[in-house]
Amino acid sequence: MPEKPEFFLPDPEGLTPSAEGYFGAFGGKFIPEALVAAVDEVAAEYEKAKADPAFAAELNELMANYTGRPSALTEVPRFAAEAGGARIFLKREDLNHTGSHKINNVLGQALLTRRMGKTRVIAETGAGQHGVATATACALFGLECTIYMGEVDTKRQALNVARMRILGAEVVSVTSGSRTLKDAINEAFRDWVANVDRTHYLFGTVAGPHPFPALVRDFHRVIGVEARRQLLERTGRLPDAAVACVGGGSNAMGLFHAFLPDAGVRLVGCEPAGHGVETGEHAATLTAGEPGILHGSRSYVLQDDEGQITEPYSISAGLDYPGVGPEHAYLKDTGRAEYRAVTDDAAMQALRLLSRTEGIIPAIESAHALAGALELGRELGPEALLLVNLSGRGDKDMDTAARYFGLYDSEEAGK
């Protein structure tokens, strides 16, 4: 390892979107005029930061000594025995400070916030992991912090609500629409329009208007760059597939990006099929959606024939979203990445299996990637080498899991 490890790795391959923020037909900047100046300011500040060695130095230092990077790469043979004998390695983003990959992007944007001279940060959160990471960075930097979270999610991720509040953030429970991530984003945009002078909207995934899809991806590129190097060191070869769950798509894009030039590596995104795509109760946007505009960019969205966004469903709060980042839409349409849908049940089984075979309790979001890897391993056979992004840890999901598996002593168990 180099003496001063580098974790801030903005795309060196020239794979950035066009100047207007397009990845092929997807992306762009569909925002009200009131936000144009603020969004342009974020883009300009990010360009300046990329060229400033002091920015990279500070972020690298935080990533090393606050987040705890590089994150481990763990082989999971007992789990892999259920996957047709393929070898499986997990990229352990769950071991980062705050318990998920989200901190990578948050620290980068928190530094940008300070550079822009803004004193207040707002963010949306689904599973609460982005909210917790944001509240953490705001505590660290002394920034005022307001987190928007759908009411459904404040209930199913109550532990993370408490964490955010302990960290000093205000958590606003959003009761409009489907009361989940989409509605939390709507409310955060409304706040931003009204308070944009002193507020940065610390967007939590690779969606939203340009420059967020590229900027958030850049802060997460470290996941794939590290994993690629670690896997080569450990096995001497590249994986047959890199697998990640896809909500908005940030952990997946962070993993995939370093492998884009490696044509032999399949990039597999696992979307939430909820009760099954055929039931209509799912959030499998790339599998079942169509191109449209949601939250500032053109991508795939779940919508009806007249452009009304339809209500998504997933047992996983972090994946329960009817949109997806535009670069994923582009990778799907070009065929470079493939997306499959994983049901609630398959994800929950994978969550329990990893816990019991390896002593690692994954987040329900990440369990979708694990379930996808089990399928893929069986398809590819014992020679296969799979890399899976374990985007987060499962502490926040223990109430959901206890109800799902009937683990409570009392009769309150759900299923």
Partner 1 sequence: MSGTIELLQEALAHAKAENRAALIAYLPAGFPTVDGGIEAVKAAFDGGADIVEVGLPHSDPVLDGPVIQTADDIALKNGVRIADVLRTVREAHAATGKPVLVMTYWNPVDRYGVERFAAELAEAGGAGCILPDLPVEESEGWRKAAEQHGLATVFVVAPSSRDERLARITAAGSGFVYAASLMGVTGTRASVGEQAGELVRRTRATTELPVCVGLGVSNAVQAAEVAAFADGVIVGSAFVKRILDAEGDEAAGLAAVRALAAELAEGVRKRG
Ligand X SMILES: Cc1ncc(COP(=O)(O)O)c(C=O)c1O
161 near ligand X, judged by CB under 6 A: no
CB 121 within 8 A of CB 143: yes
175 binds, among ligand X, partner 1, none (CB under 5 to 8 A by kind): none
- What would the x/- binding string for partner 1 be over residues 274 to 303, using CB under 8 A? ------------------xxxx-----x-x
H-helix or E-strand containing 243?
A: strand 241-245
Q: Which stretch binds ligand X (CB under 6 A): 27-35, 246-254, 293-301, 405-413?
A: 246-254
194 near partner 1, judged by CB under 8 A: yes
363 near ligand X, judged by CB under 6 A: yes
Q: In what order do the strands lie in the sheet with 73-75?
A: 73-75, 87-92, 385-390, 241-245, 266-274, 337-343
Closest distance of CB 185 from partner 1, Å: 8
CB 391 within 8 A of CB 251: yes
Active site residue 151: no
DSSP state of 392: B
176 binds, among ligand X, partner 1, none (CB under 5 to 8 A by kind): partner 1
Active site residue 18: no
145 near ligand X, judged by CB under 6 A: no
189 near partner 1, judged by CB under 8 A: yes
CB 328 within 8 A of CB 264: no
297 near ligand X, judged by CB under 6 A: no
Query: How large is the angle between the packed helices 212-235 and 326-334, nearest 10 degrees?
Result: 60
- Using alpha carbons, select from 217, 69, 195 the residue that is nearest to residue 121: 195
149 near partner 1, judged by CB under 8 A: no
71, 109, 180, 186: residue in contact with partner 1 (rule CB under 8 A):
186
126 near ligand X, judged by CB under 6 A: yes
Angle value at C-alpha 186, between 185 and 190, nearest 5 degrees: 115
Q: Which residue has the tokens 């009392």?
A: 410
314 binds, among ligand X, partner 1, none (CB under 5 to 8 A by kind): none
Cα–Cα distance for residue pair 358/80, rounded to 1 Å: 10
Closest distance of CB 54 from ligand X, Å: 28
Closest distance of CB 410 from ligand X, Å: 28
The distance in angstroms from the start CA to the end CA of the chain is 48
254: left (phi over 0), alpha (psi -120 to 50) or beta: alpha
393 near partner 1, judged by CB under 8 A: no
187, 365, 375, 397: residue in contact with ligand X (rule CB under 6 A):
365
Q: What is the DSSP string of 254-289?
A: HHHGGGTT-TTSEEEEEEEEET-GGGT----HHHH-
Q: Which residues face 166 on adjacent strands?
A: none
Q: Which 370-399 residues touch ligand X, going by CB under 6 A? A: 391-392
148 near partner 1, judged by CB under 8 A: no
In the complex with ligand X, the residue whose CB is nearer, 56 or 373, is 373
172 near partner 1, judged by CB under 8 A: no
Tell me the three state secondary structure of residue 415. coil
- Using alpha carbons, select from 347, 150, 177, 148 the residue that is nearest to residue 246: 347
129 near ligand X, judged by CB under 6 A: yes
In the complex with ligand X, the residue whose CB is nearer, 302 or 384, is 302
Active site residue 391: yes
DSSP H helix total and E strand total for the chain: 15, 14
Q: Which 11-30 residues touch partner 1, going by CB under 8 A? A: 20, 28-30
Closest distance of CB 130 from ligand X, Å: 6
Neighbours of 276 (CB within 10 A): 14
278 binds, among partner 1, ligand X, none (CB under 5 to 8 A by kind): none
Q: Which of 71, 91, 93, 102 is catalytic?
A: 102
Residues that bind partner 1 (CB under 8 A): 20, 28-38, 176-177, 182, 186, 189-190, 193-197, 292-295, 301, 303, 305-310
Residues that bind ligand X (CB under 6 A): 100, 126-127, 129-130, 205, 245-252, 318-319, 363, 365-366, 391-392
Active site (catalytic) residues: 102, 124, 391
